[in-house]
Structure 1
Amino acid sequence: MKRLKILHAIRQGQIGGGESHVLDLVEHLNPFMYESIVLSFTDGPMIKALNVMGIKSYVIYTEKAFSINVWNQVKEVIKREEIDIVHAHGTRALSNVFSSAKYLNIPLIYTVHGWSFHPDQSVIERNLKQRIEKFLTNKCDRVICVSKSNQSDGIERFDLSRSRVIYNAISATKYNYDLQHNNIRNELNIPEDIFLLGYIVRFTNQKDPFTLIHAFNKVVSKYDKVKLLMVGEGDLKIPSVELVKDLNLSDKVIFETFRTDVPAILKAIDVYCLPSLWEGFPIGILEAMAMKVPVVATPVDGNKELINNHITGELFPIKDPKALADIIISLIENPKKRELLSQNAQKYVLENFRVEDQVEKVGDVYQELIVKQSNNIKYASK
């Protein structure tokens, strides 16, 4: 039986939630049934990771949505590789592959890793993004939402009758608390008696690093033996470094660039913080929970579907550094509470968000589309 060729299109080569999702998919899809090829619109660590995995990849550079000048190049990749299904991950990627897929009559899937419209936009910008999403989803044969919140938001605004929810998931093999990991505290000279907060995510407006830094400043005013480890890159990294300097926190905050040893970093920290303004279904929270790290996050979109407040994690209002600081202080003062949160969270994630189950559901979508296309061809030939 011929293997189906799947072209996974993603916006960038940096590794964030969507890129981690793609890496998990191509690693775990049945190699006897599927051949995965990845198309990224910028280079970066994800491409290097794919090379190590032996997965073919293409980089067609653009940082623009609806970048018409790359559409012919995308079309050539689809034709050259004899692609059976195009699977776009995220709005930007979809905007740059839908035309080629439709022109070549190739089934098109869109995984929504959070909509491009969100509350932190002007009314004009939000309405424009909603129109764009409506246009793009209408071009797709199937839409996969990574959270029920995302699906509900889409249904309210446009037709999503061809959609289903398939939650993000994690590899329990990789995010295994019981494995031996490099000692990050030794590497970064962080004593064991230091309470270590972790922020392991892109430095962007969506992820709101400023609220965490201001909250941490309030924590430091009460406790001396605390540090904040901030790992990642993004357009707000330099402003974050400047804010830390302005608040005289430079000896308390450690900045690290993008790293691939996330399980080791998670094992080193005491609390994982994600002060996002909006989300799809954050893989970072899943990873932290699997590694028995208490999570403090905002009650947005997929976060509130994943975190049962006070049971599998702690939720605080967006852009509220005092509320965040109060929760962190309570966790510093109550190690039994931290232990209970971490145990509940790990059990919940390992029982409900296995990457093998996620990949099987995505494979079901592929099979449905191929059967549908085959039936359409047979009908048309009569």
Structure 2
Amino acid sequence: MNKSKMKILHAIRQGKIGGGETHVLDLVQELSKNDFESVVLAFTDGPLITELNKLGIKTHVILTEKPFDIGVWKEVRQLMIAEGIDLLHAHGTRAQSNTFWGARKLGIPVVYTVHGWSFHPNQNALVKKLRILSERFLVAKADVTICVSTNNLNEGRSNFPMNPAVVIKNGINFTKFNPDRSFGSLRAEFDIDEETLIVGYIARITAQKDPFTFIEAIAKVPDELNVKFLIVGDGDLKIQTVALAERLKVMHKVIFSGFRQDIPDLLSIFDIYCLPSLWEGLPIGLLEAMAMRKATISSAVNGTKEVIEDGVNGLLIEPKDAVGLRNAILRLVTEKPLRESLAKQAEIAVKKDYSISKMTLQIEDLYKKIKNR
């Protein structure tokens, strides 16, 4: 390898594709090939690894689904030695907790990106305290901590020292997420006619994304409205979410689809995008929907509040508020001018502040500063 290049090990918790994994996938494609060589380590296999291999990016999988799994630390260290890694970029808590030891033993600098803290308001007090202590420890093991939103940086600093730390906001590929390019319509695949409005949810079906509140809101939407609800994704709450939809008798207006990678095509058929999360770092799915010129409804949490100005480029609701979510859905379904205005302003806002080129240049600059120390 040309040693004028920095060899970066990007560590991510899993091979499934969520927000953090999408970030890594985009970043390794955008980084300057003249200055950097990327290697990706994931702690489970999955579609992310398949996609990276198609792109010619070298990947490794070391299996664990636990943070601070001491049993894999030596294997991670050996991988760093074998690959001749110059810098570790750990994305998220599980990745940082299972890679910092090897990097520190080898004198390799560490960049830790926080895609949302592992502590949040919905935990019991003891769990939250332990998570805060673990994040304090992990931040202290990094040469630099990147937060994807100002809110996340402030939240971290309110709990422990965070120097040096910077905010580098997530960026979107506007070539891929371009509402003006042509898409194959997926309406026929889902048996939805052109007159029916589609309210979509694309996310891991987990506690963080609060699918239960979404189903409860759907149950409160009158059947006479010509609306279908499309829920795309998998996760540990998928079975319970389907069961809730059956119990609340809404399966006639809800379509469940598993994990998919044709996100721009899916977004192209949405009229409204919903993200009723309980907490977020800076939700990439929301930014993608905005780039695709969609009206959005989101919970007023963390980084989401930095992106959405309520009533201007999207609607904000309180977390776990099924009635508030129902009301927001009804408003956008019945008020087409508002829906179109929010969609237009959403695209303008995301293009102004959340480009992948801007994000990548900031990260490259950070890598170079670390190299020159």
TM-score when normalising by structure 1: 0.96
Q: Provide the rounded CA distance (Å) in 2 between the counterparts of 1:290 and 1:159.
A: 35
Deviations 1:120-175 (A, max 9, x none): 10011100100000111101100000000100011111111200000001000000
Which residue number in structure 1 is paired with residue 83 of structure 2?
A: 81
Which residue number in structure 2 is paired with residue 379 of structure 1?
A: none
User: Is the aligned partner of 1:134 residue 2:133?
Assistant: no
Q: Report the CA distance between 1:249 and its aligned residue.
A: 1.4
Q: Secondary structure at the match of 1:159?
A: coil
Q: Secondary structure at the match of 1:97?
A: helix
Q: Report the CA distance between 1:370 and its aligned residue.
A: 0.7
Amino acid of the structure 2 residue aligned with 1:359: T
Q: Provide the rounded CA distance (Å) in 1 between the counterparts of 2:11 and 2:35.
A: 19
Q: Secondary structure at the match of 2:340?
A: helix
User: Is the aligned partner of 1:158 residue 2:160?
Assistant: yes
Q: Report the CA distance between 1:251 and its aligned residue.
A: 1.8
Which residue number in structure 1 is paired with residue 339 of structure 2?
A: 338
Amino acid of the structure 2 residue aligned with 1:288: A
Q: Secondary structure at the match of 2:372?
A: helix
Amino acid of the structure 2 residue aligned with 1:303: T
Deviations 1:18-46 (A, max 9, x none): 00000011000000100000000000110
Instruction: State how 1:145-294 maps to structure 2 within 5 Å.
Output: 145-219=147-221, 221=222, 223-294=224-295
Q: Report the CA distance between 1:350 and its aligned residue.
A: 1.2
Amino acid of the structure 1 residue aligned with 2:346: A
Q: Report the CA distance between 1:252 and its aligned residue.
A: 1.1
Amino acid of the structure 2 residue aligned with 1:66: F
Q: Secondary structure at the match of 2:359?
A: helix
Q: Provide the rounded CA distance (Å) in 1 between the counterparts of 2:18 and 2:224.
A: 32
Which residue number in structure 2 is paired with residue 324 of structure 1?
A: 325
Which residue number in structure 2 is paired with residue 64 of structure 1?
A: 66
Q: Provide the rounded CA distance (Å) in 2 between the counterparts of 1:248 and 1:134.
A: 45
Q: Report the CA distance between 1:224 and its aligned residue.
A: 3.7
Large movers: runs of 4+ above 6 Å: none
% identity of equivalent residues: 47
Q: Provide the rounded CA distance (Å) in 1 between the counterparts of 2:218 and 2:11.
A: 38
Q: Secondary structure at the match of 1:180?
A: coil
Tell me if the contact between 2:174 and 2:355 (Cα under 8 Å) persists in the aligned partners. yes
Q: Report the CA distance between 1:72 and its aligned residue.
A: 1.0
Deviations 1:297-347 (A, max 9, x none): 011000000001100100001101101101110111110000000000101
Amino acid of the structure 2 residue aligned with 1:353: Y
Q: Provide the rounded CA distance (Å) in 2 between the counterparts of 1:188 and 1:32.
A: 44
Tell me if the contact between 2:88 and 2:111 (Cα under 8 Å) persists in the aligned partners. yes
Which residue number in structure 2 is paired with residue 41 of structure 1?
A: 43
Tell me if the contact between 2:300 and 2:318 (Cα under 8 Å) persists in the aligned partners. yes
Q: Secondary structure at the match of 1:296?
A: strand
Q: Provide the rounded CA distance (Å) in 2 between the counterparts of 1:332 and 1:224.
A: 8
Q: Secondary structure at the match of 1:267?
A: helix
Q: Report the CA distance between 1:223 and its aligned residue.
A: 3.2
Comparing 28-37 with 245-254, greater Cα deviation is found at 245-254
Q: Report the CA distance between 1:222 and its aligned residue.
A: 5.1
Which residue number in structure 2 is paired with residue 22 of structure 1?
A: 24
Tell me if the contact between 2:218 and 2:250 (Cα under 8 Å) persists in the aligned partners. no
Q: Provide the rounded CA distance (Å) in 2 between the counterparts of 1:267 and 1:235.
A: 27
Structure 1 runs not aligned, ≥5 long: 373-382
